[in-house]
A and B are shown apart, each in its own frame.
Chain A
Amino acid sequence: MSRAAPGTGAVAGRWPAGRAVGVGALIVLVVLAVLPLLGGTSNATLLTLTLMLTSIGVAINWNLTGGFTGYVDFGHAVWFGIGAYATAILISLQSNGPQVGWPPVPAILVGALVAGFLAAIIGRATMRLKGPYFSIAMLGTFVAVREIVRVWSPLTGGGVGLTLPPYLNRALFYYVELALVTVLVVGTWWLRRTRFGAALVAIREDEVGAETRGIDTTRLKTAVFSFAGLSTGLFGALWAYQNTFVDPDIAFVEVRTIDAVMGTMLGGLGTVAGPVLGAAALYWVRELLWTHLLDAHLLAQGVLLIVIVLFVPRGLVGLVDRRGTSLFELWGWKGWSRGLRQGPVAGGEAEAAS
């Protein structure tokens, strides 16, 4: 989000206030870092902040495929659940007698790797599908995996779930997740400026064009999809350990995907700052709705989703800078429904002129 550079990222970098944004981000980071050191920050507050960071992290990962590559994943929360479950299974492994569960650190890392590995396999198949087909296939993957987890009781504990040993150092998890989110923000900022990041946007803009110009689109898009799965799996693994309990209905929650999609859109699809701002804002809006509306919070959220989509298509970032991708452009009507016959929308006028 800082200085503009000519060349790769030229369009992405035309923001005169870039330096101010960088400084602002740094200040926020410092405030968040010293917060637990001040007296009076309760464990409950730390947990709330940690969950907010989780939400931001998942939104950043979702944005890698949904925002940059243009593959709108409606089942992203599946990687969160898989990371959580893989970790929980490893930690709570039991033989006949003594507990043989793994120590937390390797269990969490392997949990994330399992999510990334499965994302690589499933992404390979589903990313052949485009537009709404991909989205719904991922939604189906999500539902399917949850049911498999529910049925596969010898390993997953079935509907009853798994209980993990208690370990409740809230500050430690808070710092770990703060560090992770920081790395992800800096990482996406850097990625957007590399050839890889530009190639991802090329896939979003015109996948056939990118492929014919020598970009191995299959490899790049599955790579970024797998990374997003791994990273969200890591947040899931951390969440499982903090929550000390997993069952299918709390590990695999549609709302986590909805939050990632809504947060990213609220902030600005395909931008670096978008998912961070949007997910954070949405998190607090939800807390407010939850406390004040109780039963109606879901209702309010549905209304909010419709309002964002219809009236703030470029997101918060788009209000100050037009670099965010508008939803209206991401899947143009012609883009997918008539694509086979007419090609990309770009050629329309050329055809008329010939």
Chain B
Amino acid sequence: MTALLEARGVVKRFGGLTAVDGVDISVGTGEMVGLIGPNGSGKTTLFDCLSRVQTIDAGSIRFDGVDIAGRRAHDVARLGMSRTFQLIRVYRDLSVAENMHLSIQWGSIGVPQLFARTDAATRRRADELLDFLLLGPLRHERAGNLSGGQRRLLEIGMSLMSEPRLVLLDEATSGVNPSLVADIADRLREVNTQRQVAFLLVEHNVQFVADLCERVVVLDQGAVLAEGTPGEVTQDPTVIEAYFGDPGDAGEDAP
């Protein structure tokens, strides 16, 4: 597998605080990688760096062979990397369907299409994805009226609308009804196998990660603590010390 995403030595500082401290991470084409770590270990900041929401202070990020460290966020999205947010970002005043229509592959939209309405093919695709994510009946609902879990699903749907090759999922299961979590896992696996979409998942739910990913990266205090299969990682004493030793919610989910 060639590396689709290849980040080397990424550093991000906020004033005196180094949130991400020289992280190396790679994701291969069609691979599913988990990213775990205690609260405040820099997972979300790393996501912000990878998707160019934040600038980086040092290091390099290549996506599909292109250096994206200097690119703007919309460029990165157009190259085929999409993401979701830990604190859900949907357009609350717009309908569910409109949210989907606004998450298209904007790189293919020229000026004439910009001044046109959403085409039938896009609508159909959005409807299919919404049905696939069990949101079909809600497509005309105002997004701000959805429950937290439904908004998570909508955001996943939006991240898939642009036909990305890599999706960064930030806490896809948090706030979601437990009965839906297995559904989400099924959906992600399906997308992964059918369309070769790679995923990088930040998760608190370790079981969810273990089910989906062949490889897991553990982050602690802004640096990579361990890397390996879910089995290896959960046996690693340093990880247990830093992460599972912590009497937080994650420990209870450990196998």
Interface residues of A in 174-204 (CB under 8 A from B): 191, 193-196, 198-199, 201-202
Task: Report yes or no: B97 in contact with A347, Cβ–Cβ below 8 A.
Answer: no
Known contacts A211-B73, A211-B74, A213-B158; A198 and B85 CB within 8 A of each other: no
Most buried by A among B74, B78, B204: B74
Are B88 and A195 closer than 8 Å at their CB atoms?
Answer: no
Per-residue contact bits, chain B 120-152, to A (CB 8 Å; 1 contact, 0 not): 000100000000000000001010100010011
Cβ distance A208 to chain B, nearest Cβ, rounded Å: 6
Contacts A195-B109, A213-B102: A206 and B89 contacting too (C-beta < 8 A)? Answer: yes
Neighbouring B residues of A346 by C-beta, 8 Å: 87-90, 92, 144, 151
Q: Which residues of B contact A210 (CB under 8 A)?
A: 91, 102
Surface stretch bound by A, among B24-32, B111-119, B185-193, B214-222: B111-119
Residues of chain A from 4 to 20 with CB closer than 8 A to chain B in the complex: 5-11
Q: In the complex, A196→B106 CA distance in Å?
A: 11
* Contact yes or no, A344 B93, CB < 8 A: no
A312 at the interface (CB under 8 A from B): no
Q: A196-B115, A329-B93 are in contact. Are A11 and B152 (CB under 8 A)?
A: no
Chain B residues contacting A329 (CB-CB under 8 Å) are 93
Which among A11, A199, A210, A349 has the greatest number of chain B C-beta atoms within 10 A? A11
Residues of B within 8 A of A7 (CB): 97-98, 101, 117-118, 123
Report yes or no: B102 in contact with A194, Cβ–Cβ below 8 A. Answer: no
B91 near A10: Cβ-Cβ < 8 Å: no
**Are B91's CB and A205's CB within 8 A?**
yes
> Do B117 and A195 touch across chains, with their CB atoms under 8 A apart?
yes
* Separation of A212 and B82 alpha carbons in the complex (Å): 7
The answer to the question of A214 belonging to the interface, with a C-beta cut-off of 8 Å to chain B, is: yes
CB-nearest residue of chain A to B91: A205
Given contacts A209-B90, A213-B102, A216-B74, contact A343 B85 (CB under 8 A): yes
**A217 contacts the other chain (Cβ, under 8 Å)?**
yes
Check B107 for interface membership: any CB of A closer than 8 A. Answer: yes
Q: Is the interface of B mostly helix, strand, loop or mixed?
A: loop
Residues of A within 8 A of B204 (CB): 354
How many B residues have CB within 8 A of the partner chain?
A: 52
How many angstroms from the CA of A350 to the CA of B102 in the assembled complex?
Answer: 23
By the criterion CB–CB under 8 Å, are A11 and B94 in contact? yes
Residue B55 lies at the interface, judged by CB distance under 8 Å to chain A:
no
Within 8 Å CB of A195, what residues of B?
101-102, 109, 113-118
Chain A nearest CB: distance from B138 CB in Å?
A: 12
Contact with A along B147-169 (1 / 0, CB 8 A): 01001100000100010000000
A239 to B89, CA, bound (A): 44
Docked-complex contact B175 and A10, CB < 8 angstroms: no
Q: A213-B77, A350-B148 are in contact. Are A198 and B94 (CB under 8 A)?
A: yes
| Nearest opposing residue in chain B for A216, CB measure | B74
Query: Are the C-beta atoms of A217 and B89 separated by less than 8 Å?
Result: no
How long is the Cα–Cα vector from A182 to B165 in the complex, in angstroms? Answer: 45
> Besides A212-B53, A214-B77, A350-B87, 20 other CB < 8 A contacts?
A7-B101, A9-B98, A9-B117, A11-B94, A194-B116, A199-B102, A206-B89, A209-B91, A211-B74, A213-B82, A213-B103, A214-B74, A214-B82, A214-B103, A214-B104, A346-B87, A346-B151, A347-B87, A347-B88, A349-B148
Q: List 25 A-B contacts (CB under 8 A).
A: A8-B117, A11-B142, A194-B117, A195-B101, A195-B102, A195-B114, A198-B101, A198-B118, A205-B91, A208-B89, A209-B85, A209-B91, A211-B53, A211-B74, A212-B51, A212-B52, A213-B82, A213-B162, A216-B72, A216-B74, A342-B87, A343-B89, A344-B89, A350-B86, A354-B204
